[in-house]
Amino acid sequence: MVDQEVPANLSPSLEKAPLDYPKPYADRCHTQQNLTASLAACEYGNLKSKTTVVLFGDSHALSWFPAIEKLAIAKDWKLLSLTMSSCWPADIPAWNSTTNKLMTNCTIWRKSTLAKISRIKPNIIFVSGTGGFATVDSTGKVLTGDAKTQVWRAGIARTLTILKTASPRVVVLGDTPHSQYDPADCLELNKDSIAKCSTPLTKSFNTNWLTEEHNAALSLNLIWLDPTNWICTTDPCSPMFGKYLIYRDAGHLTATFAKTLEVPLWRTLSPLLQ
């Protein structure tokens, strides 16, 4: 990457970046941990459209909302946003490593949401989730390594099978690369050098995890998209793309940057929908 100063027209600004959330946060359509699901319709785009698409997953899935909403508006689709914080799409217990407790409402929300998707039978389902999940076995033991991966494999297979039954087109979006810094904080201290806030490619994503997601999608003949090169275009990965700040924190995209991903998303996806 070419080093440079933080541009004056950075969008969003360093001050605004931490609050540059996707729209469903403000609409109370993103269910929070250990809280009840929103009663709002959570519908966007053309509400009268005969084509319905669904976004399903956790907060990393919600990072895709700005791009998918832009696509829905352009294609005259109705978009239903169904996401919950730290509640990954795989049918596994959600363990909160901060509180050291199970998120009991995650299982309730996921089951109810999958039932809703099955009733709706959308034309396209976009599904994604963070790779940094934590879960437990039947005895409550927190799983690690291969044991954790095995539980995830079975759980995601159950979820994707339900989604495949509900829709003719299920699009599995690979987890997004992350930053080793909070870019807004880092760039505030290093306005003369964005390189100081960059992340080596090998630290921005887990190759083994992308392979797991890829295999899960392929095993059911679903559409798989790897967004790594759309977000991390250099090595090391820059915290910026043109004038856009990529991250609002170390793991979530800014809504402003995410909106630009509508272009590579549709360019890659459209041939696969034929």
Q: What are the tens digits of pLDDT across the range 2-47?
A: 899 999 999 999 999 999 999 999 999 999 887 778 788 999 999 9
Q: Could you tell me if residue 207 is inside a domain?
A: yes
Q: Could you tell me if residue 1 is inside a domain?
A: no
Cα distances (Å, whole numbers) of residue 136 to 68, 147, 208, 217: 33, 10, 21, 23
CA proximity to 167, closest of 112, 228, 125? 125
What pLDDT is attached to residue 274?
78
Taking only the tens place, the pLDDT of each residue in 201-259 is: 999 989 999 999 999 999 999 999 999 999 999 999 999 999 999 999 999 999 999 99
Q: What share of the chain is helix, strand, coil (3-state, %, to 5)?
A: 40, 15, 45
Q: Could you tell me if residue 10 is inside a domain?
A: no
Q: Could you tell me if residue 181 is inside a domain?
A: yes
Q: Could you tell me if residue 148 is inside a domain?
A: yes
Domain span including residue 124: 17-273
Residue with tokens 């508006």: 73
Q: Could you tell me if residue 158 is inside a domain?
A: yes
Q: Could you tell me if residue 7 is inside a domain?
A: no
What pLDDT is attached to residue 192?
97
Q: Residue 55 pLDDT more than 90?
A: yes
Residue 139 CB coordination number (10 Å): 5
Q: Residue 54 pLDDT more than 90?
A: yes
Higher pLDDT, residue 206 or 122: 122
The phi and psi torsions of 54 (rounded to 5 degrees) equal: -125, 140
What pLDDT is attached to residue 34?
73
| CA distance linking residue 135 with residue 184, whole number of Å | 31
Taking only the tens place, the pLDDT of each residue in 147-186 is: 999 999 999 999 999 999 999 999 999 999 999 999 999 9
Query: Taking the model in full, what pTM does it have?
Result: 0.96
Q: Could you tell me if residue 4 is inside a domain?
A: no
Based on the structure, what is the number of domains in the chain? 1
What pLDDT is attached to residue 230?
97
What pLDDT is attached to residue 235?
94
Residue 208's CATH number? 3.40.50.1110
